[in-house]
Chain A
Amino acid sequence: MMRMSRNGMSLLFAIAYTFGVSGSAYSAQPESQVRQADVSTIFFFVVFAVLTLLISFWTARHATSSSEYLTAGSSISSGQNGLAIAGDYMSAGAFLGLSGAIYASGLDGMFLAASYLASWPIVLFLVAEPLRRLGKYSFADVLTHKLKERPVRILAGSSTLVIVSFYLVAQMVGAGELISLLFGIGYAPAVIMVGMLMIVFSTLGGMRAATWVQIIKAVLMIGGSCIIAVLVLVRFGFSMSDLFKTAVSNHPIGDRIMDIRGFAQDGVATLSIGVGVLFGTAGLPHILMRFFTVSDERAARLSVFYATCLICLFFVMLFFIGYGSIALLRGDAAYASASGVLFGGNNLAPIHLARAVGGSILAGFISAVAFATILAVVSGLLIAGASSAANDLVVGLSGRQLTERTRLQISRISSVALGVLGILLGLACEGQNVAYLLALATAIAASANFPLLILAIYWDGLTTRGAVIGGTFGLISSVVLTAMGPTIWSKVLGLGPAIFPYDSPALFTLPLTLLVCWLVSITKAEPEGDWRLTGPSVARYVE
């Protein structure tokens, strides 16, 4: 049953890294071999930390209502939102993980990049406009336009908080390891520092602060990637042929780095990963939240287009960075061991490459951008979690609507609570490989959130009973099947051969969830009656 090989395992981690970051799987080198932070790294780090705090204090005066706090008052422009969405996707995991994956095994990393990019048209065609039209704070708003509020909000809130928690723990562990590597400080101080900044930043500034940090980070990330890519090409006289020839001659697997290797071993596993990525993006709460920050559907459409262009540009730069790393770093004793593994782990390929082509200043800048990336992503996660806790879970469990003031208070308290939880779990999971949590989160997004959202938007026949039973089935089946897959069952838990042969269950759980929703919905019609809670959350805003 163990059909996923070691390559498959590393590919799962690469997927996980792309949505978040976890240093555990790749940072295999002893700390003594890792460079300590130099002056430029610390300088850029301090600049970013001060800048993010200034932004949070500046935006705090706006965040006086729940609408302003959770969705920036829907006043973000399409261009700004496009940059912020791109920023959400250009995580430290994508930057470090995908270039590290290309450094390790060639084109496999780019297959994931192409899959992530292909998920954006799906988001645009299916969910972006309806979300903006029907939603206000969370994707559950869209569901409750035709379904009973209480059960649906409890379900949506639960799945959102599960996804956010998984992401948060993985981010905190990754942040601790990455920052301790980049800046030469201990794991615990790194986790606490990131956590405290994240809490201050999210609690004070809310979505507007998170959006501005994402915008600044996206610009710096794209700019930094372009600079590294151009400097790599300069080294090879802008000859792609020379770049590839050097990379092929440096890599132990030779010209196979020009092809997909790991994904080619099992077509069904690859298809399942593809389905998960393709449809999972449209179910990720912190991505969906972005559509509530713009004013109308047109702005939602445009922001997806801008984001797609920027993400595509970023992935193209990663291509050059990945192959440039193979060509310039492999075999260089200053950056890699004799076996070819980079000091600090292959995930540090862009940092080492920046140092190789641009010196310590560029390396310091890129390190600080990686830090800003982590901070921006975890802040967005806290806002998404806080929004769902206040808007879905509390409303669903209490059975009554909240006043504006209470909603804002609950959002801020939830933000702090989630942040503290993230720090504690991050500290508790030191040294643990938690990349599988991100794979789990993606599987839940594709198997539970996406089918509900699509059926609620496009099918009149969906009933509350169908949505709740189907959504619960998607949530549980995706968690159970992922847990029974090769990574968690065999590698993490060490329970022997995996019961379920694939790491991503989306190929099976997504259609099954749709089927369960449909079957349950057609067997019993929605009872008539006053099924909606009254109060501000169902209010429509009109000119």
Chain B
Amino acid sequence: MHRTDEVHPSRVTANRPDTLRVRLMLAMILSYLAMMAFVLYCARHPVPAAIASMTFSPAMIALASCMALSVILTGLFVFMRHGD
């Protein structure tokens, strides 16, 4: 390794976020907002008896789905970029 101490002559051009990156980011933000809206709805409305008998509450399932999606989207992005 050797170091070059040159002064860069011009401004560095901004990165352009690629389509995959933008889509995955939007998917994450939208799913997070959807989860938030769903758990708020669940907290303010009575749960139907059939659903109330389930082991996990709907809010728990929504939170778990959002957490799983975080891991899946992260993994998907890393997998898609593996060849870079």
Contact = CB atoms under 8 A, between A and B. Distances in A.
Contacts of A301: 77-78, 81
Given A121-B25, A535-B5, A114 B57 contact: no
B60 A258 contact: yes
A124, A263, A536, A541, most chain B CB atoms within 10 A: A124
A113 interface: yes
A532 B77 contact: no
A542 B42 CA distance: 56
A271 interface: yes
Interface in B14-61: 14-17, 21, 24-25, 28-29, 32-33, 35-36, 39-40, 42-44, 52, 55-57, 59-60
B4 A111 contact: no
A433 to B, nearest CB: 27
User: Helix, strand, loop or mixed for chain A's interface?
Assistant: helix
A62 interface: no
Contact of B8 (A259, A304, A532): A532
Nearest to B38: A260
Given A258-B57, A261-B43, A263-B40, A458 B25 contact: no
Interface in A39-97: none
Contacts of A270: 36, 40
A430 interface: no
A458 B78 contact: no
A126 B78 CA distance: 13
A472 B6 CA distance: 31
B3 A539 contact: yes
Interface stretch (A200-208, A211-219, A305-313): A305-313
Given A270-B40, A542-B2, A121 B28 contact: yes
Contacts of B66: 114, 117-118
Contacts of A297: 84
A258 B59 contact: yes
Interface residues of B, number: 48
B2, B43, B52, most chain A CB atoms within 10 A: B43
B4, B7, B42, B67, most chain A CB atoms within 10 A: B67
A278 interface: yes
A314 to B, nearest CB: 11
Contacts of B39: 111, 259-260, 263-264
A308 B71 contact: yes
B67 A122 contact: no
A240 B2 contact: no
B36 A274 contact: yes
Contacts of A3: none
B70 A308 contact: yes
B63, B66, B74, most chain A CB atoms within 10 A: B74
A121 B36 CA distance: 17
A125 B21 contact: yes
Interface in A251-265: 255, 258-261, 263-264
16 contacts: A111-B63, A121-B25, A124-B74, A125-B21, A240-B55, A259-B39, A260-B42, A264-B44, A271-B36, A305-B74, A312-B71, A457-B14, A458-B15, A460-B11, A534-B5, A542-B4
Interface of A: 107, 110-111, 113-115, 117-118, 120-122, 124-126, 130, 134, 145-146, 240-241, 244, 255, 258-261, 263-264, 267, 270-271, 274, 278, 297-298, 301-302, 304-305, 308-309, 312, 315-316, 456-460, 526, 530, 532, 534-536, 538-543
Given A259-B42, A539-B4, 5 more contacts: A110-B60, A121-B77, A146-B11, A263-B43, A536-B3
- Leading 7 A-B pairs by shortest Cβ distance: A264-B43, A258-B57, A125-B25, A460-B14, A305-B78, A145-B12, A121-B28
